[in-house]
């Protein structure tokens, strides 16, 4: 295939090697012409003019309309609220996300968070700094109920591990169906039932207009006063003020947050010092070999694109993910 007939691909990432290697290994190198560009640099007019396929973490307003040949954009993350918030996202552009590429790292980190809030290891580490022996009883996870709001691929893998630990798992799914390891799969309209039963509530919902401030004072009041809230979805899901009031007043036992409305979380944000709130610096999804997982999906989609087949993980703009 001549260079002029190849599909022009722009990899706008600081870690292009994994994607170039994956393209080569898949036997697609002679079917594409690839440009690579570090994130700190902007595409040249020539690159804008010829790019048909774009892979990027995020793009600024004004960029996509300046790419007249662009037909498909692959986001490097599962969440695409930053893409959908663009005022000039072309209506006909096919947008795919990296849904499913967090299924190794994120469930492990969520289980780690459960242990962190149930077990006294953090407190014990602080006591050691003071050379203090303080007898502490760890709370068991066995027999506790984990409620998962958003039973997608991540939630289902968390459920599998949680059941192996002796936990009872319930949750919500946009289209409820039977799911292995989940005792009850309810519709989002039945969220209050999940909140009332759960000892730990895990948020894995996407950021959409429907989920903005989804967890507010009313829903927090449905939770047990001994229950913990864990947010690994999106910061916009939780009403910050209502959450701080709930933890301060003992309406819930506490909250562990890995995602925020603004990241990095500003040093002056009250979450840092609010009683009952644990701040994590968005460690849920990252993985040392994350680009290897994303490149696998990207190359599968690239082959489908070149062969004129439907792409995987296409974003539903109406649903918001």
Which residues belong to the active site?
234, 263, 282
End-to-end alpha carbon distance in the chain: 36
Backbone angles phi and psi of 61, in degrees to 5: -55, 145
- 44 neighbors 26 (Cβ within 8 angstroms): no
Q: How are beta strands 94-96 and 145-149 bridged, if at all? A: unpaired
Burial of 4 (0-12, 13-18, 19+ CB in 10 A): exposed
Name the DSSP letter for residue 314: B
Three-class SS state of 282: coil
- 313 neighbors 103 (Cβ within 8 angstroms): no
Within a 13 Å sphere around the CA of 272, how many CA atoms are in the beta-carbon half?
A: 7
Three-class SS state of 33: strand
* Structure-block tokens of residue 82: 């930053």
* Structure-block tokens of residue 270: 């009250």
Sign of the CA dihedral with 216 first, then 222, 226, and 229 last: negative
- 293 neighbors 101 (Cβ within 8 angstroms): yes
For residues 107 and 105, what is the distance between their CA atoms, to the nearest angstrom?
A: 6
């Amino acid at each position: 295939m001549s260079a002029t007939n190849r599909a022009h691909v722009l990899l706008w990432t600081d870690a292009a090697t994994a994607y170039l290697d994956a393209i080569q290994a898949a036997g697609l190198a002679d079917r594409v012409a690839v440009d690579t560009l570090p994130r700190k640099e902007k595409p040249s007019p020539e690159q804008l003019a010829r790019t048909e396929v774009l892979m990027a973490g995020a793009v600024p307003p004004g960029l996509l309309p300046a790419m007249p040949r662009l037909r498909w954009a692959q986001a490097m993350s599962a969440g695409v609220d930053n893409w959908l918030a663009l005022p000039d996202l072309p209506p006909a552009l096919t947008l795919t996300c990296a849904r499913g590429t967090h299924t190794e790292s994120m469930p492990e980190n969520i289980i780690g968070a459960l242990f962190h809030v149930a077990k006294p290891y953090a407190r014990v580490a602080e006591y050691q700094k003071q050379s203090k022996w303080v007898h502490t009883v760890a709370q068991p996870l066995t027999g506790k109920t984990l409620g998962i709001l958003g039973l997608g691929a991540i939630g289902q893998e968390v459920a599998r591990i949680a059941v192996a630990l002796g936990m009872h798992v319930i949750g919500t799914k946009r289209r409820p169906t039977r799911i292995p390891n989940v005792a009850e799969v309810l519709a989002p309209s039945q969220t209050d039932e999940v909140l009332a039963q759960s000892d730990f509530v895990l948020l894995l919902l996407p950021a959409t207009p429907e989920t903005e401030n989804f967890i507010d004072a009313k829903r927090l009041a449905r939770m047990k006063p001994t229950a913990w809230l864990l947010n690994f979805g999106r910061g916009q899901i939780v009403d910050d003020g209502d959450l701080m009031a709930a933890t301060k007043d003992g309406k819930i036992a506490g909250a562990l947050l890995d995602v925020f409305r603004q990241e990095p979380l500003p040093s002056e944000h009250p979450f840092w010092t609010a009683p009952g709130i644990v701040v994590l610096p968005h460690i849920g999804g990252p993985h040392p070999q994350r680009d290897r997982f994303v490149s696998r999906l990207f190359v599968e989609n690239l082959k489908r694109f070149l062969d004129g087949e439907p792409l995987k993980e296409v974003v539903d703009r109406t649903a918001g993910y």
